[in-house]
Amino acid sequence: MVTYAQIKDYIMQKYNTKVHTSFIAEVKRLHGVSMKSNRLKVDSNAKHPTPEMVAKIEDALQYFNII
């Protein structure tokens, strides 16, 4: 199982960009990837990833065969 840290490291090495874990989770949800339930309340005012960030995260998820 690939961890969020591994995904973040891949994006940092390839694109020299930091990614927030919530952005990765949002992109995974967009693609219908099942995840553990979150016990924390979802903040409707939370920031969302830019289209460029989504593309980088999707690349990482494809690299790790998640999507």
Residue where the block lists tokens 């553990």: 36
Q: What percent of the chain has pLDDT over 90?
A: 76
pLDDT of residue 46: 77
Residue where the block lists tokens 């960009």: 17
Identify the three-state secondary structure at position 44.
coil
Reported as a single tens digit per residue, the pLDDT across 27-52 is: 999 999 987 776 666 666 778 999 99
Q: How far is CA 7 from CA 10, 41, 46, in A?
A: 5, 24, 21
Q: What is the mean pLDDT of the chain?
A: 90
